[in-house]
């Protein structure tokens, strides 16, 4: 079902709104007004920062944990004496004894049966086994841990450790642009960020921040839609194209945001195959659209990454390499070549940027290079994804077009056997259309492939078409003009049925349905008018069902088909007669309004005329007669 233009536009807007909502929902939240990104050993990339209020400097989690462990080890654990043993022995169970030994305690506090606490050195403690070996006494443990008291002691020791180690006074200078973030400065900046999050005023500031992020995301998506509307209007009007682009953006952005939300390390972003954006869009459309889509997506993701400049530098470098190395993908080797170059660019850009900002190679991480290798593997996997995209969105890649244009395929073999004359006509039309497409920068491979299939409907009744009639007997001349016209027109509907049977892509069936547009079957229409000059003849009985061509490629095929067929009926082949025939056929199609829906310019039409004339002259040039031997 074909949707109206207004309905399509509303659905497209809804798709963009839905994408914006998903991006905003998954966007990593920042809950304070101190939204700066910084790392130890790297320069501060912002303006001067001074303390707006007093705040404590917090210790690192590792330092706090270490001090808490030391505090716990400094206490004296408490035990309870359950009964007396001969010779005043103090016997622990083996597990309790080993636990004391592991914790490093050298004494315990013992509460005797008289509720008197006394300190016992660790050397005085025995296990049942050691008591038997030393004193020959079979003893059960007579002291056990006082769990309740020990829990209070542990809690008190942990709480005694301060989480801070100093104060920063209001107005104190912290760091300025270009200065290196040291370990101490990092702790101060982290403490300042924490202080902001604990202040009551940050809620309002956080709301403003999120409003700003929402506005930026909406702006970037609007810029992409504007690019399509201005420079790729034919794509902008197609709902499936909108779905294809937004689905790609949603996949990459949501994957990146989920990584940033659930990990604290943005290096995992090296695993995300952002190159898919450039590859898929270039394969199905063009590199300029791919560059815009890639750039907008990377800008949105950079709003959330901890190091936006490094992210953009590396990813844009990779994107440029992808687009430069994969203008067209007609072989699997092209994808492997692009994947290899992408991996090398990732490794080079990461290494160079780290050395430039850190001034040392020690900050280079092996796992990043492992992530890059995995990324290359994911890029190669896009070959299978291309097939899935073709099925989901009805698109056709150059790889598929090459497979379809193989004249050794089963369908082409069947075509050549059942309708040999039409098949030869098809090859000539394909050659003409291909040369014209090169001249006006149309999709050459698409025109070539569409031309091969445009007349496959004649396979079902090849004897009805003059190019297949060897004996000169034409069944159409035995019919009425209306029946003959209907029979000729049927090759279009038959072709569409065969295309559906063989599951040909929609872009190929467009050539089958539109290669005659809504033009007249002129021979039988003129014959009917001449036979009944006083009768009002219904033109619709003699017109093809259409649709008219709507692209440069389908328009080229319509011209090439008409010109090649007409060239076979010329009485003489001269430059003048061929040029006149080409002009006459194309002018008649223009006057009939067949190209009104195409983006062809006058310059394009003139270039196509010249190409057809040159090629037909070359095909029908005079040859010299070979002399015979005199006997």
The CATH number assigned to the domain holding 511 equals: 1.10.3210
Structure token digits, residue 231? 């420079």
DSSP code for 61:
H
Structural domain including 491 reads: 405-619
Higher pLDDT, 281 or 201: 281
Please tell me the total count of domains within the chain: 3
Residue 462 near residue 429 (C-beta atoms within 8 A): no
Residue 449 pLDDT class (50, 70, 90 cuts): very high
Residue 278 near residue 322 (C-beta atoms within 8 A): yes
Pair 373, 429 in one domain: no
Whether residue 368 has pLDDT greater than 60: yes
Pair 144, 247 in one domain: no
| 45, part of any domain | no
Burial class (CB in 10 A: 0-12, 13-18, 19+), 48: exposed
Pair 143, 263 in one domain: no
Other CB atoms within a 10 A radius of the CB of residue 279 amount to: 27
Q: What is the mean pLDDT of the chain?
A: 87
122: Cβ–Cβ under 8 A, 6 or more apart, which residues? 100, 101, 105, 106, 107, 108
Give the C-alpha separation, 445 to 438, whole Å: 10
- How large is the average pLDDT for residues 192-206? 67
Last residue of a domain, one of 393, 420, 449: 393
Report the 3 state secondary structure along 519-540. Answer: CECHHHHHHHHHHCCCCCCCHH
| 413, part of any domain | yes
Other CB atoms within a 10 A radius of the CB of residue 7 amount to: 11
534: Cβ–Cβ under 8 A, 6 or more apart, which residues? none
- Please, what's the b/e burial string for 101-131 (b: 16 or more CB within 10 A of its CB; e: otherwise)? eeeebeebbbbeeeeeeeebeeeebbbbebb
Say what the pLDDT of residue 534 is.
Answer: 83
Pair 496, 430 in one domain: yes
Sign of CA dihedral 504, 508, 509, 512: negative
| 603, part of any domain | yes
Residue 621 pLDDT class (50, 70, 90 cuts): low
| 81, part of any domain | yes
Pair 104, 19 in one domain: no
- Distance, first Cα to last Cα, the chain: 75
64: Cβ–Cβ under 8 A, 6 or more apart, which residues? 161, 163
80: Cβ–Cβ under 8 A, 6 or more apart, which residues? 110, 111, 143, 144, 145, 146
Last residue of a domain, one of 362, 393, 424: 393
Whether residue 447 has pLDDT greater than 90: yes
Give the C-alpha separation, 84 to 98, whole Å: 22
Pair 286, 382 in one domain: yes
Q: What is the pLDDT of residues 548-584, one digit of tens each?
A: 999 999 999 999 999 998 988 888 888 888 999 999 9
Pair 605, 516 in one domain: yes
Higher pLDDT, 77 or 263: 77
| 52, part of any domain | no
Pair 97, 237 in one domain: no
Continuous segment of H or E residues that includes residue 49: strand 49-50
577: Cβ–Cβ under 8 A, 6 or more apart, which residues? 570, 571
Best CA proximity match to 440, nearest among 560, 327, 588: 560
- How large is the average pLDDT for residues 255-262? 90
Pair 259, 116 in one domain: no
| 141, part of any domain | yes
Is-cis flag, bond preceding 547, omega within 30?
A: yes
| 44, part of any domain | no
Burial class (CB in 10 A: 0-12, 13-18, 19+), 315: buried
Other CB atoms within a 10 A radius of the CB of residue 294 amount to: 29
Choice among 444-448, 517-521, 572-576 with the minimum mean pLDDT: 572-576
Last residue of a domain, one of 129, 159, 189: 159
Residue 276 near residue 245 (C-beta atoms within 8 A): no
81: Cβ–Cβ under 8 A, 6 or more apart, which residues? 90, 110, 111, 112, 113, 142, 143
Backbone angles phi, psi at 82, to 5 degrees: -90, -35
Pair 421, 300 in one domain: no
Structure token digits, residue 366? 């092996």
Give the C-alpha separation, 74 to 312, whole Å: 51
| 607, part of any domain | yes
Best CA proximity match to 264, nearest among 37, 60, 58, 65: 37
Pair 604, 494 in one domain: yes
Choice among 108-122, 474-488, 572-586 with the minimum mean pLDDT: 108-122
Continuous segment of H or E residues that includes residue 577: helix 575-591
Say what the pLDDT of residue 31 is.
Answer: 46
Continuous segment of H or E residues that includes residue 109: strand 107-111
Pair 371, 411 in one domain: no
Say what the pLDDT of residue 587 is.
Answer: 93
Say what the pLDDT of residue 451 is.
Answer: 94
């Amino acid at each position: 079902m074909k949707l109206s233009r207004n309905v399509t536009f509303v659905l497209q807007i809804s798709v963009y709104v839905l994408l914006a909502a998903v991006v905003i929902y998954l966007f990593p939240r920042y809950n304070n007004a101190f939204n700066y990104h910084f790392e130890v050993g790297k320069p501060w990339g912002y303006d001067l920062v001074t303390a707006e209020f007093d705040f404590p400097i917090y210790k690192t989690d590792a330092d706090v944990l270490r001090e808490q462990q030391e505090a716990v080890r400094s206490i004296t654990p408490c035990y309870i004496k359950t009964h007396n043993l001969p010779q005043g022995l103090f016997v622990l169970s083996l597990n309790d004894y080993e636990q004391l030994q592991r914790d490093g305690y050298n004494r315990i506090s013992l509460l005797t049966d008289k509720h008197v606490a006394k300190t016992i050195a660790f050397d005085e403690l025995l296990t049942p086994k050691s008591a038997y070996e030393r004193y020959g006494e079979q003893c059960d443990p007579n002291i056990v841990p006082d769990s309740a008291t020990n829990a209070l002691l542990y809690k008190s020791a942990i709480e005694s450790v301060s989480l801070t180690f100093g104060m920063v006074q209001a107005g104190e200078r912290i760091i300025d642009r270009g200065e290196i973030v040291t370990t101490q400065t990092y702790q101060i900046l982290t403490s300042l960020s924490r202080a902001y999050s604990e202040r009551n005023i940050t809620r309002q500031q956080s709301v403003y921040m999120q409003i700003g992020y929402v506005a930026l995301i909406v702006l970037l998506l609007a810029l992409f839609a504007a690019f399509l509307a201005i420079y790729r209007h034919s794509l902008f009007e197609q709902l499936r194209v909108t779905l294809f682009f937004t689905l790609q953006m949603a996949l990459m952005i949501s994957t990146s945001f989920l990584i940033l939300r659930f990990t604290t390390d943005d290096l995992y972003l090296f695993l995300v195959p952002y190159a898919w954006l450039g590859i898929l869009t270039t394969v199905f459309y063009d590199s300029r659209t791919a560059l815009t889509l890639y750039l907008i997506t990377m800008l949105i993701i950079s709003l959330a990454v901890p190091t936006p400049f490094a992210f953009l530098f590396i990813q844009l470098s990779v994107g440029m390499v992808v687009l430069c190395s994969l203008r067209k993908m007609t072989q699997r080797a092209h994808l492997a070549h692009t994947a290899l170059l992408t991996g090398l660019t990732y490794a080079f850009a990461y290494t160079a940027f780290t050395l430039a900002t850190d001034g040392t190679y020690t900050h280079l991480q092996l796992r990043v290079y492992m992530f890059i290798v995995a990324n290359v593997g994911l890029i190669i996997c896009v070959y299978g994804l291309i097939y899935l995209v073709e099925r989901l969105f009805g698109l056709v890649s150059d790889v598929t077009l090459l497979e379809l244009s193989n004249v050794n395929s089963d369908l082409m073999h069947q075509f050549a056997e059942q309708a040999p004359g039409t098949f030869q006509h098809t090859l000539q039309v394909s050659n003409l259309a291909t040369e014209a497409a090169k001249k006006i920068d149309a999709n050459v491979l698409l025109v070539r492939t569409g031309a091969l299939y445009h007349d496959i409907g004649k396979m079902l009744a090849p004897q009805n078409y003059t190019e297949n009639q060897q004996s000169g007997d034409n069944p159409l001349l035995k019919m009425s003009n209306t029946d003959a016209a209907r029979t000729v027109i049927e090759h279009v509907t038959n072709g569409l049925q065969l295309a559906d049977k063989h599951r040909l892509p929609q872009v190929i069936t467009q050539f089958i349905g539109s290669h005659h547009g809504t033009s007249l079957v002129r021979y039988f229409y003129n014959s009917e008018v001449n036979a009944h000059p006083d009768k009002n003849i219904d033109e619709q009985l003699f017109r093809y069902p259409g649709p008219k061509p709507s692209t440069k490629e389908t328009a080229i095929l319509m011209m090439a088909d008409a010109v090649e067929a007409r060239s076979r009926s010329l009485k003489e082949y001269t430059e003048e007669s061929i040029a006149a025939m080409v002009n006459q056929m194309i002018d008649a199609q223009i006057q009939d309004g067949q190209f009104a829906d195409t983006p062809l310019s006058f310059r394009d039409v003139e270039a196509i005329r010249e190409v057809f004339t040159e090629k037909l002259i070359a095909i029908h040039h005079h040859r010299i007669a070979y002399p015979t031997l005199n006997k």
